[in-house]
Structure 1
Amino acid sequence: MRALRLTAWGKAPAPVEVDRPVPHGAEVLVRVEAAGLCRSDLHVVDAAPGVLPYRLPFTLGHEVAGRITALGPGADGVAIGERVVVYGPWGCGSCARCAAGRDNYCDRRDTLAWHGSGLGRDGGMAEYLLVPSARQLVPIGDLPADQAAPLSDAGLTSYHAVAGLRHALGEGATAVVIGIGGLGHLAVQILRATTESRVLAVDVREDALALADRSGADFGTLMRPDTARALRARSGDVGVDAVLDFVGTAQTMDLAVSVARPGGELAVVGSGGGSLTVSKPGVLPAGFRLSLPFWGTRHELAGVVALAGSGALRVETEHFPLSAAPEAIDRLRRGGTRGRTVLVPD
């Protein structure tokens, strides 16, 4: 079968022919119908030797949807022919958090040579994906694969981040989403579907603000010197209740702090290299709470799939055949992608 493999750190992944995997034990073989591509993949490709614990080579791809085609003798709870989305973070499988479906916060994460599908273990940018256990699969019914695949990261990570802030987003609350890309445009929709808050959007691109508008944002503004003032004006000049930062640079974090009201919340999802200094006294608002959400739980993935199935969540996608993955990666690297890039086997 064809697969997009990372064979050397800092080098472009290469499409190669590899043997089709055969499931053993509790493993499940999924024929891939769609695989999402995101900036996390670029972080893996660009990593210097020794930064990540992963052993080369391996197939990329942690956003995967497809159809079950074969089962190991110990696999249970799923059936051949069932369409599924793959829960991407794979933990040790035996700690209390993994047992509860919280592989994203596996207690043994720092000791593993992998972090999930396409992250040290062979992923879904291939014709087939071997999944360690049926517990990492969520049924999708007739949901289109190009919609389902991005839910396993772009949708799940956004859902998990919003869930951590939901207690602060009751009637009359205001939430700001910074960075309206593959994750941000879904965060806008999830906020609209699961909270009563007003949703304000910030980006550096006009087309991203148009995407925010299509996703249901109440207001959008470019990142400018007066952005904080514009956002505060929309909150009645008291500041906003929560900020979701999908960029994570020093500039976006500074903006978040400048618009948060006392007791406000900031969830930093993006890995843009920014930092905050925590001190008392200091510049952070009184009662300010900071979280660093990572991915999400299997239970939350089922919730994301349900939202998409109800029509409340729709991923804006651009499609590329698997054979054109290098072109798709280059387009993503140049910032030319709208929404989420999805690779489809040729």
Structure 2
Amino acid sequence: MKAAVLHSFDEKLEKPEFVRYEDVPDPKIERPNDVVVRIGGAGVCRTDLHIIEGIWRSKVDVKLPYIMGHENAGWVEAVGKGVTSVKVGDPVICHPLVTSGHCLACRRGNDMHATESSFPGINADGGYAEYLLTGERALIRLPKTLAPKDVAPYTDAGLTAYRAAKKASRHLLPGEYAVCIGAGGLGHIGIQVLKALCAAEIIVVDRSPTALQLAKECGAHHVVQADGNELQAVLDLTGGHGAEAVIDFVGEGDSIRIGIAMTRNAGAYYIVGYGGKIDLPTIDMITTEKTIVGNLVGTYPELVELMALADRGLVHLATREYRLRDANQALHDLHHGKIKGRAVLIP
């Protein structure tokens, strides 16, 4: 099969070719619950850029050469002898983790904390290819309204945004405020999820006019240009007290300091993007009673819930399609901020 393969890291993201489009062996069924999926779409994520930079070397045992791509959807191509819930030809979306289902975390539904798992595109070959090896337990059959290429980024960008927005929606009441920092690939989904799940007033902060326009299209009640005065602008909109919930889809640079400052006393700051550090005096945590919440992908049931919202038209993805052979162009466009929403590779 054809695949876009990472052969070397590039810490400064300067090389014209990050991956090499080449022939690699087809994945094969090895275990009873294995499933091979013919890729209909593979999302291009900022995490892929971090993998190219080598940031993930300290977190997982990534051995080169290696196929990225952890946001995948397509059609069932082959199944192991123990597979009963899907059949060849079924359109499916892949939960990003492949788990055994036996550990306590799995049995509690916390797939992303499973002790026995693989994460195609992170610690195993992913979907920047014509075919992907996954497991039956990771698959969700798609309704006829949703095409694989249109939903692939929901498996990480959508699921992560959904998980954070769902947590926030549980305590947001009418008349309260939610701030989304970043309206890109994750943020524009989070805005729609908040709007679908709660009645809070949504404020979106981003430096890009294109992203702010997308935020308006997704239902934001207020948009704020990140030009150095965004903290004061948000405080003015919230009566000087800040928002009950702040979801930081950036997680680096000055977004952390500003995001926590935008959070009202006794409010919650949800960190989704990563790359920066949180450094707070303990006395400030005590006197403000702010809560800081980490968010790691999401559960299988949450992906089912997100597909239900997409099926009803309450959440949609802004996508830009690239051929698999043009993976380098997609990665460079993402790196340079040229993509509105998410990029999707199509074999």
TM-score category by the smaller chain? over 0.9
1:104-123 matches, within 5 Å, as 104-106=112-114, 108=115, 114=118, 116-123=119-126
Matched residue SS, 1:120: coil
Matched residue SS, 1:264: strand
| Higher deviation after alignment, 90-99 or 288-297 | 90-99
Matched residue SS, 2:170: helix
Matched letter for residue 102 of structure 1: N
1:146 aligns with 2:152: no
Matched letter for residue 333 of structure 1: H
Does the 8 A contact of 2:44 with 2:345 survive in 1? yes
Q: Could you tell me the TM-score, scaled by structure 1's length?
A: 0.93
Q: Which residue of 2 aligns with 1:177?
A: 180
Residues 115-160 of structure 1 deviation map (CA, whole Å, 9 limit, x = unaligned): x0111211111111111x2110011122022221011011100011
Matched residue SS, 1:3: strand
Of the three residues 296, 299, 320, the one matched with 2:298 is: 296
Q: Which residue of 1 aligns with 2:29?
A: 23
Residues 223-275 of structure 1 deviation map (CA, whole Å, 9 limit, x = unaligned): 13322222122223332100000111241112122222110100011113132
Matched letter for residue 287 of structure 1: E
> Which residues of structure 1 form unaligned runs of 5+?
none
Q: Which residue of 2 aligns with 1:155?
A: 158
Q: Following TM superposition, by how much is the alpha carbon of 1:46 offset from its aligned partner in structure 2, in angstroms?
A: 1.2
Does the 8 A contact of 1:261 with 1:285 survive in 2? no
Structure 1 198/246 Cα, relative in aligned 2: closer, same or farther at 3 Å?
same
Instruction: Give, in whole Å, the separation in 2 of the partners of 1:146 and 1:288.
Output: 40
Does the 8 A contact of 1:146 with 1:317 survive in 2? no
Q: Following TM superposition, by how much is the alpha carbon of 1:22 offset from its aligned partner in structure 2, in angstroms?
A: 2.4
Does the 8 A contact of 1:60 with 1:118 survive in 2? yes
1:240-319 matches, within 5 Å, as 240-280=243-283, 282=284, 286-319=288-321
| Higher deviation after alignment, 48-57 or 85-94 | 48-57
Matched letter for residue 105 of structure 1: H
Q: Following TM superposition, by how much is the alpha carbon of 1:98 offset from its aligned partner in structure 2, in angstroms?
A: 2.1
Identity %: 33
Q: Following TM superposition, by how much is the alpha carbon of 1:21 offset from its aligned partner in structure 2, in angstroms?
A: 1.9
Matched residue SS, 1:123: coil
| Higher deviation after alignment, 317-326 or 51-60 | 51-60
1:71-110 matches, within 5 Å, as 71-91=79-99, 93-106=101-114, 108=115
Structure 1 90/27 Cα, relative in aligned 2: closer, same or farther at 3 Å?
closer
Matched residue SS, 2:64: coil
Matched residue SS, 1:315: coil
What is the number of residues matched between the two proteins? 338
Matched residue SS, 2:143: coil
1:70 aligns with 2:78: yes
Instruction: Give, in whole Å, the separation in 1 of the partners of 2:24 and 2:196.
Output: 42
Q: Which residue of 1 aligns with 2:4?
A: 4
> Which residues of structure 2 form unaligned runs of 5+?
none
Instruction: Give, in whole Å, the separation in 2 of the partners of 1:64 and 1:243.
Output: 29
Q: Which residue of 2 aligns with 1:213?
A: 216
Matched residue SS, 1:125: coil
Instruction: Give, in whole Å, the separation in 1 of the partners of 2:202 and 2:91.
Output: 33
Of the three residues 18, 35, 52, the one matched with 2:42 is: 35
Does the 8 A contact of 1:251 with 1:274 survive in 2? no
Does the 8 A contact of 2:322 with 2:330 survive in 1? yes
Instruction: Give, in whole Å, the separation in 2 of the partners of 1:8 and 1:259.
Output: 40
Matched letter for residue 89 of structure 2: G
Q: Could you tell me the TM-score, scaled by structure 2's length?
A: 0.92
Matched letter for residue 309 of structure 2: L
Does the 8 A contact of 1:87 with 1:138 survive in 2? yes
Does the 8 A contact of 1:89 with 1:295 survive in 2? no
Matched residue SS, 2:29: coil
CA RMSD after TM alignment: 1.8
